[in-house]
Amino acid sequence: MRLLAISGSLRANSSNTSALEAMARLAPAGVKVVLFEGLAGLPHFNPDLDRSEASDSLPREVRELRREVGLSDGLLICSPEYAHGVAGSLKNALDWLVGSLEFPGKPVALINAAPRAVHSDAQLREILATMSACLIEDASVTAPIAGVGRNLDANGIVSDPDLSDQLGEALRAFIEAITIKNSEA
């Protein structure tokens, strides 16, 4: 199983990215969590470049994002909240996925690593529902991950029993939901 992890933060020492890196380290054998590293390189969304009859007009970075989504069994998304909203870099990536064939029906788990982020979680849910994502509630961490705000890196998160248990449980629920979904297909 291959899961694509997308951090909505571009910060070098992002707690969102650290949480996803920790999940990659907590993944059981047979499950690979791949961190998408091309968020900052995506061009601003332009619907003129996103016409299905002109797929060769898509920027290379967008083709790579869509390829990564297509290769993955599910998406783990962890994003900060800015000005009570979704981080612009993540919203831009999602906009590029709206017209893609790779995204609809894709299982998604939302991980909230921000102590005060409630508005972006609600907005992401609305956006993902509109995009026909398969949001896996049992795998989503809606309450902020207790303690991530202590500036722990991925190793620090994995070493913390409470944090690693919370993220590990979300990961197990996500894997189980994807396994069930795939067996029904």
Q: What is the rounded distance in angstroms from the CA atom of residue 29 to the CA atom of residue 64?
A: 26
For the stretch 85-124, pLDDT in tens is: 999 999 999 999 999 999 999 999 999 887 777 899 999 9
CATH of the domain at 47: 3.40.50.360
Rg from Cα positions in the chain: 16
Domain that holds residue 59: 2-184
The predicted structure's pLDDT at residue 53: 56
Q: How confident is the model at residue 38 (pLDDT cuts 50, 70, 90)?
A: very high
pLDDT over threshold 70, residue 149? no
Question: Structurally, how many domains does the chain consist of?
Answer: 1
pLDDT over 70 (residue 145): no
- In the 8-state DSSP scheme, what is residue 143? S
Q: Looking at residues 80-85, what average pLDDT do you find?
A: 92
Length of the chain: 185
